[in-house]
Amino acid sequence: MKTFIVTLFFCTTTIFSFSQTKANLEDINTTWEKFYKAFETLDYTLMAEIHSQDLVRVSGGKRILDYDTYINNYKIGFERDKTAGHTSSISLRFFERINNGSTASERGIYKLVRNKGTDNEQAYYGQFHVLLKKSDGVWKITMDYDSSENGTIGEDQYQKAFAIDDFEKF
């Protein structure tokens, strides 16, 4: 009986010590809120804030970028969009969110809308996989991979994934 109780205690504490919580997901979402805001305001400094200096960025399986190159690309692109009067908004939906309190893996579908509500409105979709690390109480993106999967990702896949605040699914 004593062995059973010790085993049960070990299994229970092991499960709880490695489980994710709603609070962790809410905390991670503060990083995603800055991500959204960066696109809405075309502010590359917000992108710089939420990404680790050790970032590995993989784009569509075709190239790998470091932090400086990735952030500089946003600086140039956002400035170009501001000058041209373009707008952007991005949203994420998830099919997997795993974390242990210090490391997170999040996968899902993004939808990027350019020039919303105009004759030039365009929507772009892709699948993403992001790894985040919590450092000094802040979640930062350390690896970011996305791909359109050869143009096969669209509104249907986006809608099938779960909303950013649908914590019950994870």
- Please write the tens of the pLDDT for every residue from 110-164: 999 999 999 999 999 999 999 999 999 999 999 999 999 999 999 999 999 999 9
75-101: average pLDDT? 97
Reference 33, options 135, 116, 138; nearest CA is 138
pLDDT attached to residue 8: 42
58-63: average pLDDT? 86
Q: Which fold has domain 20-169?
A: Nuclear Transport Factor 2; Chain: A, (3.10.450)
Neighbours of 126 (CB within 10 A): 21
- How do 51-59 and 122-135 pair as beta strands? unpaired
| pTM for this prediction | 0.86
Instruction: Write the CB contacts of 1 (distance below 8 Å, at least 6 apart in sequence).
Output: none
pLDDT attached to residue 33: 98
**Candidate from 71-75, 90-94, 95-99, 148-152 with smallest mean pLDDT:** 148-152
Where does the chain have alpha helices with state H?
2-17, 22-41, 44-50, 67-84, 155-160
Band of pLDDT at residue 60, cut at 50, 70 and 90: confident
- Please write the tens of the pLDDT for every residue from 5-41: 544 444 444 444 456 689 999 999 999 999 999 999 9
Q: What are phi and psi of 19, to 5 degrees?
A: -90, 155
Task: Give the span between the Cα atoms of 85 and 121, in whole angstroms.
Answer: 13
78-82: average pLDDT? 98
What kind and span of H or E run contains 113?
strand 103-114
pLDDT attached to residue 11: 45
Checking if the pLDDT of 62 tops 90, the result is no
37-54: average pLDDT? 98
Reference 34, options 56, 14, 18, 50; nearest CA is 50
Domain boundaries defined on the chain: 20-169
94-122: average pLDDT? 97
